[in-house]
Amino acid sequence: MKEFVCIVCPRGCKLRVDSDLYETAVSGNACARGREYAIAEYTNPTRSVTVNIRVRGGTRRVVSAKTERPVSLAKVLPLARLAGKLTVDAPVKAGDVISNSLLGEKIVATSSVAKAENL
C-alpha cells in the first residue's frame, strides 16, 4: 500500500493505492483523474526537470530551461547534473532547443536572453 496527495486539481485528495499481481485499487479519489494520477504515480512516476543553463555573451548569465516532456524519476538527478554543465551562446529565445539528446531527452529554453552589446 502506498499513499499520495493528488495534485491534479485543488482538492488535494488523499489517495491510497493497493496493488497485487492482477489488480491496482485506488481509494480516496473524488474524480477519475485522481485515480489515473495515482496509478501513474505508483507504476511510473515522472517529473518535469527545470534547470538554469549558463549563457556566454548574453545580457544575463543564465537562461531557464526544462525538459520537453516529463521524464522518469530515475533520470531526474542525472539529467539535472548533466544539464548544469551545459553552456549556450547568446542570443537565446524561449522555445529554442538547447540540447537534442541529453540522456535521450530534449532540453528547451523557457525564457529569452539577448546578446550583450559591449563585449
Q: Which is nearest to 5 in space by CA: 31, 28, 36?
A: 28
**CA–CA gap between residue 73 and residue 70 (Å, rounded):** 9
Residue 57's pLDDT band, with cuts at 50, 70 and 90, is: very high
Residue 117's pLDDT band, with cuts at 50, 70 and 90, is: confident
For 9-43, write each residue's pLDDT tens digit: 999 999 999 988 888 999 999 999 999 999 999 99
What is the grid cell recorded at 73? 524519476
Instruction: Say what the pTM is.
Output: 0.80
Domain regions of the chain by residue span: 2-43, 50-109
Query: Does position 119 have pLDDT exceeding 60, yes or no?
Result: no
pLDDT computed for residue 97 by the predictor: 96
State phi, psi for 110 to the nearest 5 degrees: -110, 0
Q: Look up the CATH number of domain 50-109.
A: 3.10.530.10
Q: Which is nearest to 7 in space by CA: 45, 46, 38, 32?
A: 38
